[in-house]
Chain A
Amino acid sequence: MSELNVPVLGVGGWLRFLWRQLTSMRVALLLLLLLAVAAVPGSVFPQWDQDAVRTAQYVADNPDTAPWLDRLGFFEVYSSPWFSAIYILLFISLIGCIIPRTMVYAKALRTPPPKTPATLTRFEYREQVSTHDSDLDQISERVTRALRGRSLWPRFRVSMVDEAPGQRSFSAERGYLREAGNLVFHMSLIGILVSFGLGQMLEYRGQAIVQQGRGFVNAQVSYDTFETGSLFSDDSMPAFRITLDDFTSQFRITDSAAQDFTASVTLTEEDGTASQHDIKVNEPLSAHGASVYLMGNGHAPVVTVRDAAGEIAFSGAVTFLPEDAQYTSRGVIKVPDVSTGEQLGFVGYLLPTADFSLGAGRSVYPEALDPYLILDLFRGDLGLDEGVPQNVYQLQTNKMTQVTGNELTTAPVVIARGQTVDLPQGLGTITFDDVVRYAAFDVRYDPTLVWLALFSITALVGVALSLFIPRRRVWVRVREITPAGAPPTVDIEMAALARGQDSGLGHELHRVRDAITGEVTQRQRSRDI
């Protein structure tokens, strides 16, 4: 029994083997399919990055499975190790593929088209003609012109070889842009990935809710929420100021469908120059490389609360968040600064155009035509002094007593605009002075957007070139035969070859033949696919 002759792969051999596997088309194909499959869970499960509220809700609703899903990255699919691993491997494979191809291509650009095969008879697309009216040089000239064309940009790249006395061959190639497009496309994908990654490191993003007549400064402290990339430094924030002068909205009378939102703002530069602008949903304002987007809007009721002693304990506009198309808005009014007694808290709804015909109030139109506030009152400790940041849209009621509300016999406080209502239990009064509009702005700065756009364009052009530019080779061999006492004959033999399927190849060869012979033959258009 003879021993099996197993080739031994050293470490280097294994690495070479792995590298060759990784950069093979088969593995790239597999990775592409894996990438498609791995992207699916991100659309099925809520994602922390996209919708933290819904994700938290999902986690709360599924206490058995959610912790495991969270651990496995199913709520952060696109930054999970497994998703990252797939696309990083894919890009390594891509780089490993295009570097050698770029070198091959660079070499092909420097070398003439491959020389004419010794025999052209084996090609599927082949033509043969003879002429008696011209000599070898005249025919050569016509062949060159037929292949190059008359335009500035030669149709074919042509190389001529004198093979023997009285015999010449031409090898021609076109479609160099096909591979160039292919390479540009794949390089652009790397560009897009790098730009995108850099953008996430260099960006900043702030959200500000601004009531009419107020404003915000482009500074970290001025925003309600503020996020930055890991490489972002505070110095790159220009300190412009934006004031919301006016907010107008249009709704259709019949069904309250939103027609238009316009925020009229004043942009004040660091040097004090001011300019007026309109921001709409699809029309952000550009300010020093940052963009200011109109992301939302709503109503802020202006209320004055007097405590049991008749002192003004609170006065101002409070942002209420709309919950439906009629802008039924929910909000919280916290009144910590009472001169006597317990702190007060209100939770409830603003109905911009109230209708009480069905008993309980509801809003029937999103504009503040006939606004009412329907509030539940709490008294006790608001919990603001514990040093823990509180959500302004939520009332912490664990140390408070409910005074009015659905479960209690006391009806909620209902106030129309301009009215003042006494609070139950002699806790004071509340006045509903007015309603002002507010707008929610997102400010975003990403210096890589222009690169992202640029690489997207080159990717698009590249992929189109790589798919639609035909790559063809044409060979022509001319032979001069001079029989004694007869005019010279030039035999012309030609063949064409395409990279991949190319339904225009036969036509190309006919065109070249006609240009050489000067004849015009009817083009045979086949309707066969």
Chain B
Amino acid sequence: MQLGELSDYFVWGTVTAYTIAMVAFAVDLSKVAEGARDQERPTFVGRRTTMLGVAMATTTLGALFHVVATVLRGVAAGRVPWANMYEFTLTGTLAAVLVFLGVNLWKEIRFLGVFVTLLAVTFLMVGLRGFHVEADGVQPALQSYWLVIHVGIAVLATGVFTVAFVLSVLQLMRANYDRAEVTESTRAKWRVALPASDRLEALAFRINAIGFVMWTFTIIGGAVWASEAWGRAWNWDPKEVWSFIVWVIYAAYLHARTTRGWDGNRAAWFAIVGYATVLFNFTGVNILFSGLHSYAQLPT
């Protein structure tokens, strides 16, 4: 069996593990509100349930499969495994899951689990079904150490933005729940176990700030590479345009936080729109527009 095929099997294993984790996270989340009757304020900190344990264990197992799949892919292709859309999906999703597991070592964010695994499964399925190509070398235009740096940081930034995006969405859901004051509404009940919306906002900001610095580096690195390969640091190529738009919207987000009347929940919308542009920059720009970054290598 080829290494590339073996990598694909591991990706399917990863998807399976994340799916089991997602179901377990969801079951646990549906029960978390029951705690609301017993205690004043249910919280995930110190929460020990079998379901949550299973969920975290399978997420970790999935992440291990994910790492193996990514490494095998790189070995099979003889280069870093982030040179086409499939690989970007593979590694970007891995980055998101690792950011989730990493931050969780430090702060309690298991309440994100169901959403992070949901996104991971979705992205990986789209990658496998829509973008998958055989592991292969790259054309001369991509043979540069900047592929490692520029695209590598872009992948990491995407993973970081993904986790921050989920936090921002939960922030709005929690704030909405607090505003509605429907304590007996069962469908939204789980939201009571979320941290307060201003705490979610604070964490989302810290993670988005890291993502923003990474994205700044991605753009600068890209400009240096463009200058080296094409003789133009900045040429308003569609990919450059949308990377710029992503950067401007996250910059607006950072400014909104410190602007009275635009902070808090309104700023969260900037982060959500920002994440939408990240996704569009990755998918829409590669598929819809032609430009110099047109080596997305979609299956034909």
Q: Which residues of A contact B (CB under 8 A)?
A: 25-26, 28-29, 32-33, 35-36, 39-40, 42-44, 47, 49-50, 54, 77-78, 196, 205, 252, 257-261, 280-284, 291, 293, 295, 442, 444, 449, 452-453, 456-457, 459-460, 463-464, 467-468, 500-501, 503, 527-529
Contact = CB atoms under 8 A, between A and B. Distances in A.
A281 B229 contact: yes
Contacts of A464: 213
Contacts of B143: 260, 280-282
Interface residues of B, number: 62
B248 A39 contact: yes
Contact of A43 (B141, B216, B285): B285
A179 B8 CA distance: 48
Q: Is chain B's binding surface mostly helix, strand, loop or mixed?
A: helix
Interface of B: 43, 45-46, 106-109, 136-137, 139-141, 143-144, 146, 195, 199-200, 202-203, 205, 209, 212-213, 216-217, 220, 223-225, 227-238, 241-242, 244-245, 248-249, 251-252, 254-256, 258-259, 261-262, 277, 285, 289-291
A36 B245 contact: yes
A527 B233 contact: no
Given A43-B289, A196-B234, A36 B199 contact: no
Contacts of A444: 231-232
Contacts of A252: 137
B234 A26 contact: no
A259 B289 CA distance: 25
A47 B291 CA distance: 11
Nearest to A262: B140
A49 B236 CA distance: 9
A260 B140 contact: yes
A36 B248 contact: yes
A205 B230 CA distance: 12
A523 to B, nearest CB: 13
A503 B202 CA distance: 9
Contacts of A291: 231
Given A50-B235, A449-B227, A467-B213, A32 B252 contact: yes
Contacts of B43: 528
Contact of A460 (B220, B228, B251, B277): B220
A378 B209 CA distance: 65
A74 to B, nearest CB: 13
B233 A452 contact: yes
A29 B259 contact: yes
A459 B249 CA distance: 17
A259 B143 CA distance: 9
Contacts of A47: 236
Nearest to A282: B144
A257 B262 contact: no
A463 B213 contact: yes
A82 B76 CA distance: 49
A32 B251 CA distance: 8
Given A32-B252, A39-B244, A261-B140, A205 B231 contact: yes
A32 B255 contact: yes
- A-B CB proximity, top 8 nearest: A43-B238, A282-B144, A32-B252, A444-B231, A43-B241, A527-B108, A281-B140, A467-B209
Given A29-B255, A43-B242, A43-B289, 20 more contacts: A26-B261, A32-B249, A32-B251, A33-B249, A36-B277, A39-B248, A50-B236, A50-B291, A77-B236, A196-B233, A196-B234, A281-B143, A282-B140, A282-B146, A284-B231, A291-B231, A457-B220, A501-B202, A529-B199, A529-B203
